[in-house]
Amino acid sequence: MNQFSARMDTIKPSPVVVISNEVRKMRAAGEKVFSFSIGVPGFLPPEHVYKAAENAAKRDSDGGAYLSSRGVPELVEAFLHRLEEDGFSGYTEKEVCAQMGGKGALFNLLLALAGPGKEVIYPAPYWTSYDDLVTLSGATPKPIYCSADQNYKLTGAQLEAAITPNTQVFMFNNPSNPTGMVYTEEEVKEIAAVLKKYPHVWVISDDIYDKLIYDGQKFHHLLDAEPTLKDRLAIVQSVSKSYGMPCWRVGMVAAPEALINQLLTLVGQTLFHLPAVPQMAAAAAFGGDHSFLNVVKNDFVQNRNTTMDALNSLNNIQCCQPSGAFYAFPNISACLGKNDINNDVEFCQKLLQEQQVACIPGSAFGDPNAIRISYATDADTLRQGLQRLCDFVEKLS
C-alpha cells in the first residue's frame, strides 16, 4: 500500500545531490574522485565571519529564547546595508526577511505567489531545483528554452511569447547556474521592458552569483532597467556562493511588505526562525569588507581559463565562454551515440566509472545536450580532472 502523499510522485531527488552522494561513497571506499559536480564555491569566508559566529555562540542571544522570524536585527541591518551598497535604496526593515538559504527563499516565494492553475516561467537551462519547487507549489513549470546559439540567454521576444493570462511568476537567475552566462545591460533592459507590459506577472530575481562576475563585465539588474518593477519583484540573496558559506544556510529576501508578511507567516508556521549563530555570521558577511572577493575572482578566472582551454582543445565539444558564477556548460551532443553512450546521463555515468570524474548531466538543468562542470576547485585537481575528461572524450572520437 502506498502510504505517502501523491505530491511526492510529482518530484524527484535532486540530480546534483544524487551524484554528490555517489562521490562521497566512492571516496569513502578509498577511490580518488575528481568532482566537478556540486556547486560549492571552494573557498572559506573571511575570519571576521567566524569571529561573529563564535561570539554569537558564547553569548546565546536572549538567554536561549526564540528569535524573530524576520531575522535578528544585526542581520536585517547588514542586509539593508548590502542592498544600499548595491544601489537598491529605499528598502526598509519591513521589506526584508531571512530564509533557510536561497533555496528556502525561492520555495517560500513560490508558495506565497503561485499555485494550482498558475504558470511559472523561467529561462532554460535553469537551476536544477526550479522545476520541482514550482511543482511543489502547485503551479505548472514552463521553462523557456534558450539554445547555445544564443549563449543560453533569454530574449525579450521569447519572454513575451511565453507570457499568458495564467503566468503568475517569472524567475530570473543572473549570472546563470548552470551556464555561467551574464546578461548585458541591453539584454536586461529588453527583458524589463517586456515585464513592464504585464503587471499581473511577479518577478523573482535570483541574484546569488551577482558578486562573481569577470572579464570587466558588470552586474545589471531588472530594477536598474525598470524601477517600477519594485512593486512586484522579490530579490533573493544568499551567503552560500559569494561568501563561501553554503553550509550556513542563510538566505535573504527583499520584496514589497505585503509579500514579506506572507513569507513571515510561512516561516513562523514552519521553521519559526533561523539559528542565531548562522544569522550573526551572515550579518558579518553581508556587512563586512568584501575585498577578499578580488582574490576569489582572480582564482575563478584562472580556473575558468584552464577549463576553457581544455574544452576548446576537443573537436567534438563546444562551450560558450562563461563570465560569471563558477560553471561551464559544454555541449556534448557530438559525443552521443558513440561507445554505447546514448544520452547525457550515460555520458556522466561512464565518465565517473571510467575516469572518476563527476559532472552533472545537462538534462538536470533542462538541456540534455550538455553537462555542467563546476571549476570551483584547486588548480591541480582541476587540471588532472580535465585531462581525464579530455582522454574520455577523445576515445569517443
Pair (99, 226) in one structural domain: yes
Are 318 and 251 members of one domain?
no
One domain, residues 82 and 58: yes
pLDDT tens for 87-111 read 998 999 999 999 999 999 999 999 9
Residues 357 and 261 in one domain: no
Residue 52 CA: distances (Å) to CA of 59, 218, 269, 278, 288: 10, 30, 28, 9, 11
Q: What is the pLDDT of residues 222-243, one digit of tens each?
A: 999 999 999 999 999 999 999 9
DSSP state of 370: B
C-alpha cell at 375: 571549476
Query: Who contacts 164 (Cβ-Cβ below 8 Å, separation ≥6)?
Result: 119
Q: Is residue 66 part of a domain?
A: yes
Torsional class of 76: left (φ above 0), alpha (ψ -120 to 50), beta (otherwise): alpha
60-69, 173-182, 221-230 — which is least confidently predicted?
A: 60-69
> Do 124 and 254 belong to one domain?
yes
CATH of residue 13's domain is 3.90.1150.10
User: Is residue 311 scored above 80 in pLDDT?
Assistant: yes
**In the structure grid, which three cell numbers stand for residue 38, read together?**
556540486
Quick check: 145 pLDDT over 70?
yes
363 pLDDT higher than 80: yes
pLDDT at 7 over 70: yes
**How sure is the predictor about 247, in pLDDT bands with cuts at 50, 70 and 90?**
very high
**Among 5-9, 217-221, 343-347, where is mean pLDDT lowest?**
5-9
* Domain with 25 in it: 6-44+292-394
Domain boundary among 263, 287, 311: 287
The pLDDT, as a whole number, for residue 12 is 84
Q: What is the pTM of this model?
A: 0.95
Task: Please compute the mean of the pLDDT values over residues 300-326 and round it to a whole number.
Answer: 96
pLDDT at 397: 66
Residue 1 lies in a domain: no
328 and 209 part of one domain: no
Confidence of residue 192 (pLDDT cuts 50, 70, 90): very high
Domain-terminating residue out of 264, 287, 310: 287
